[in-house]
């Protein structure tokens, strides 16, 4: 809580321990995982391993050296107090939340953004890696008295296995949302009808679907092959993959088939949204009647019905996007403890610099994310 205001972080992150892909993995699959020591060193080689002979990390030369050199581990320790050899612990995460004034945080992976989603993996192995992470995360969140909300991983190599793992993780790990990467897998884009059983499972279980890109994984991404720097490829792929994912969900009828599906677009910035909704609406008017005559709504209406987007502390477009789509469709995220986050001043900087009205901030910081993640109880405000 900050300035007597309840705060929900819609997109924080954990730092996994190096043994997450082995100790928490089904024993039958452990022999298929080996550290990528030669490229990344022993620590990050374990966190971003070779699986079935396939590297799970495909970052730039600069980022590869940053990990191998140990600079990434030193940054985590010096800036956030996280010992990379152990990964983040529940008490460290809660202490950071208390420093910021965050009451509840929904958490996403760091290295798990990549490993289970590697495009070359066998579906059973990909699902097993996701299950290993989900099990570990469920245990961590169980130690936080409900303050840390687990978001499960579900790679789409085999949609039937993904749907099964989603149901298991909701039931056993307490998952309140599921992260799906927007990148195509096995020739199937996110909106492919083959993924309908995943969308149906999410709708039936009433858990949110989160679209969250992550540069560095061995996946197909927009901008691939065009840039050789982390700088350009990451700047492009996060928002552009989100834009393509939303367009596909609209144009290929996913929102019509699953009207109760709640979708969050995270870590892509917010500034693209008004432009993209306006452009898609224009194209819908011009070509929708001839190419997709069965669509029931305009793209902007699907967003208003089923979607939300997150912006971080220094997002210069937050106010404009709130004005465009309403505060009930926008939420705040810290991105803790990644390089771009404003820790330990994320919340205080937002509150001191914003021109948003108090009731709008309430929706941005609590009402919208709590609705997305299904958290009903708001923390009690301290007495004045």
Q: What is the pLDDT of residues 132-157, one digit of tens each?
A: 999 999 999 999 999 999 999 999 99
User: What is the per-residue pLDDT for 106?
Assistant: 98
Continuous segment of H or E residues that includes residue 313: none
Write down all domains in the chain, each with its CATH number in brackets: 8-373 (3.20.20.140)
Q: Does the pLDDT of residue 190 top 70, yes or no?
A: yes
Q: Specify the 3-state DSSP secondary structure of 88.
A: coil
**Over 60: is that where the pLDDT of 346 sits?**
yes
Q: What pLDDT, on a 0 to 100 scale, did the predictor assign at position 291?
A: 97
Res. 384 pLDDT band, cuts 50 70 90:
very low
Rounded to two decimals, what is the model's pTM?
Answer: 0.96
Inter-CA distances, 24 with 111, 128, 148, 158, 189, Å = 15, 9, 20, 21, 29
Report residue 310: phi and psi, to 5°: -110, 150
DSSP 139-179: HHHTTTTTSEEEEEE---SSHHHHHHHHHHHHHHT---EEE
Nearest residue to 199 via CA among 253, 237, 242: 253
Q: What digits encode the pLDDT tens for the residues 240-257?
A: 999 999 999 999 999 999
How many angstroms separate the CA atoms of 143 and 145, rounded? 6
pLDDT in tens, 82-121: 998 999 999 999 999 999 999 999 999 999 999 999 999 9
Residues 170-180: tens digit of each pLDDT: 999 999 999 99
Pick the closest to residue 47 from 115, 147, 136, 137 (CA basis): 115
Q: What is the pLDDT of residue 381?
A: 55
Helices (H), ranges, the chain: 37-47, 61-68, 71-75, 90-100, 123-141, 159-172, 196-205, 230-251, 254-257, 272-291, 299-306, 318-325, 346-353, 358-362, 368-373
Beta bridge partners of 152: 178
DSSP 8-state secondary structure symbol assigned to residue 77: I
If you average pLDDT over every residue of the chain, what do you get?
Answer: 95
Q: What is the pLDDT of residues 302-315, one digit of tens each?
A: 999 999 999 999 99
| Cβ burial 188-200 (10 Å sphere, 16+ → b, else e) | ebbbbeebeebbe
Q: How many CB atoms are located within 10 Å of the residue 253 CB?
A: 16
Mind listing the pLDDT tens digit for each residue in 269-294? 999 999 999 999 999 999 999 999 99
């Amino acid at each position: 809580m900050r300035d007597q205001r309840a705060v929900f972080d819609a997109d924080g992150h954990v730092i996994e321990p190096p043994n997450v892909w082995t100790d928490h993995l089904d024993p039958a699959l452990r022999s298929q995982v080996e550290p990528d020591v030669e490229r990344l060193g022993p620590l990050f080689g374990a966190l971003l391993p070779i699986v079935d002979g396939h590297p799970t990390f495909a970052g730039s030369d600069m980022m590869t050296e940053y990990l191998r050199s140990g600079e990434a581990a030193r940054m985590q320790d010096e800036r956030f107090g996280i010992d990379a050899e152990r990964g983040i612990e529940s008490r460290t995460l809660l202490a950071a939340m208390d420093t910021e004034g965050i009451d509840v945080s929904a958490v996403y992976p760091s290295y798990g953004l990549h490993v289970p989603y590697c495009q070359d993996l066998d579906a059973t192995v990909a699902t097993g890696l996701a299950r290993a992470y989900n099990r570990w995360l469920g245990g961590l969140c169980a130690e936080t008295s409900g303050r840390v909300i687990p978001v499960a991983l579900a790679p789409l190599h085999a949609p039937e296995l993904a749907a099964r793992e989603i149901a298991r993780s909701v039931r056993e790990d307490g998952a309140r949302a599921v992260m799906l990467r927007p990148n195509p897998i096995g020739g199937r884009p996110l909106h492919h009808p083959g993924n309908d059983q995943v969308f149906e499972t999410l709708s039936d279980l009433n858990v949110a679907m989160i679209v969250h890109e992550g540069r560095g994984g061995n996946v197909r991404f927009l901008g691939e092959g065009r840039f050789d720097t982390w700088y350009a490829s990451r700047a492009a792929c996060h928002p552009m993959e989100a834009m393509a994912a939303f367009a596909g969900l609209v144009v290929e009828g996913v929102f019509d088939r699953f009207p109760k599906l709640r979708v969050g677009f995270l870590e892509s910035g917010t500034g693209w949204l008004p432009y993209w909704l306006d452009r898609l609406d224009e194209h819908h008017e011009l070509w929708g009647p001839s190419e997709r005559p069965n669509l029931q709504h305009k793209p902007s209406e699907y967003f208003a019905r089923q979607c939300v987007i997150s912006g971080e502390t220094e997002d210069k477009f937050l106010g404009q996007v709130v004005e465009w789509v309403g505060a009930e469709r926008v939420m705040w995220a810290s991105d803790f403890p990644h390089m771009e986050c404003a820790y330990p001043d994320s919340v205080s900087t937002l509150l001191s610099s914003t021109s948003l009205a108090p009731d709008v901030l309430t929706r941005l910081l609590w009402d919208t994310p709590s609705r997305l993640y299904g958290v009903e109880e708001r923390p009690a405000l301290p007495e004045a």
